[in-house]
Structure 1
């Protein structure tokens, strides 16, 4: 029998109030007591809107990814040049930008690190989201090639993978070392990759 939440409004409120918690502690590290504390709701109220804790974790991931996706894609789409559209993805990740991503780091990285051996549904969702982000960069690069802003022989997928790897690597280094020099070097390297494909 299909689960039907008691209230879509309450369900959304639960997601918004637990999104940061799941992004920081993960699905395994977050207890039902943590959910009760974060929402101010009873276990019964939470499970009246979700069949189990995993369902809350999945909804929280979707919320965190959509928040990040919207910030990145909207921030990129408003740029005039294709170079600036690519750069927006890099620059919005620099701490100085104070971008309003969900606190706790990249939800894609967090989810993959935790779930690759423990939760195939969450791993799969993170993988799909990562590929959506990758394709967005590929599309920008291909449009830039067609507009003769980027070199004709540019391999869009390779460049997109390099940019995302630098961004995610910067997050990993900062969270582990707390040293901004690694963030700056990696994000500068991503900017050079973009510079190098310009005509």
Structure 2
């Protein structure tokens, strides 16, 4: 990797944690300079604006999280176990998250809802990607005979994403992981109602 590419990646990685903790609006170019250890000129030789950095930092954060979701799912056997393993990536949102500062999808969606449109569009696309990933797991579970064909996989995948994000938010807000734990219990309860037979219990 060339020096310019290394600098670009360094800015993206450091800014990802910064934006996830302080938010897009709450982070300034000076903050980026401080976390990267670069000069203002060094930052602007690589990126044209804070907006450009924010978009690439979000892509980086999302990629890190999705890699962990994929790894968790691959290591589980049944469809339900895969869904629960994906959720478990955020089993300790108070003390540990894939990206410092919590869930980048949640943080960005809340902040960019009525603000910065490009980030809102990226967050919306990420939400769709996450939902589709979970839906594909559930669809395969139906195909394999693990889950009932009466399962609305799109609806349940949406429910899992919404519940998980809400649980992460509540746990980080109260500094208590019990909320995300409650979410896990209810997600597993819902999924268990669609199991076919005792083999997959």
Same fold (TM over 0.5): yes
| 8 A Cα contact 2:16 2:58, kept in partner | yes
Say if 2:61 is the partner of 1:64: yes
- Does residue 1:32 correspond to 2:29, yes or no? yes
Task: Name the residue aligned to 1:3.
Answer: none
Please say if 1:118 is aligned against 2:115.
Answer: yes
Aligned to 2:173: 176
In structure 2, which of residues 61, 80, 83 is the aligned counterpart of residue 86 of structure 1?
83
Is the CA contact (8 Å cut-off) linking 2:97 and 2:103 kept in structure 1?
Answer: no
Contact 2:168–2:179 at 8 Å: present in 1 too? no
User: What does 1:96-135 correspond to in 2, within 5 Å?
Assistant: 101-135=98-132
Q: TM-score, normalised by structure 1?
A: 0.92
TM-score normalised by length of structure 2: 0.91
Q: What is the CA deviation profile of residues 112-138 of structure 1, one whole-angstrom value per residue up to 9, with x for unaligned ones? A: 111111111000001101101100111
Does residue 192 of the first structure (1) align with residue 189 of the second (2)? yes
Distance 2:55 2:129 in 1: 17
Please give the secondary structure, in 1, of the residue aligned with 2:46: coil
Q: Structure 1 residue 139 and structure 2 residue 136: aligned?
A: yes
Task: Identify unmatched segments of 5+ residues in structure 1.
Answer: 1-5
13, 16, 40: which one pairs with 2:13?
A: 16
Q: Equivalent residue of 2:90, what SS?
A: coil
> For structure 1, which segment, 100-109 or 38-47, has the greater mean C-alpha deviation from structure 2 after superposition?
100-109
Q: Distance in 1 between matches of 2:111 and 2:74?
A: 31
Q: Which moved more, 1:136-145 or 1:70-79?
A: 70-79
1:53 counterpart = 2:50:
yes
143 and 105 in structure 1: CA distance in 2 versus 1, 3 angstrom threshold: same
Runs of 5+ unmatched residues, structure 2: 197-201
Aligned pairs, number: 194
CA RMSD of aligned residues (A): 1.7
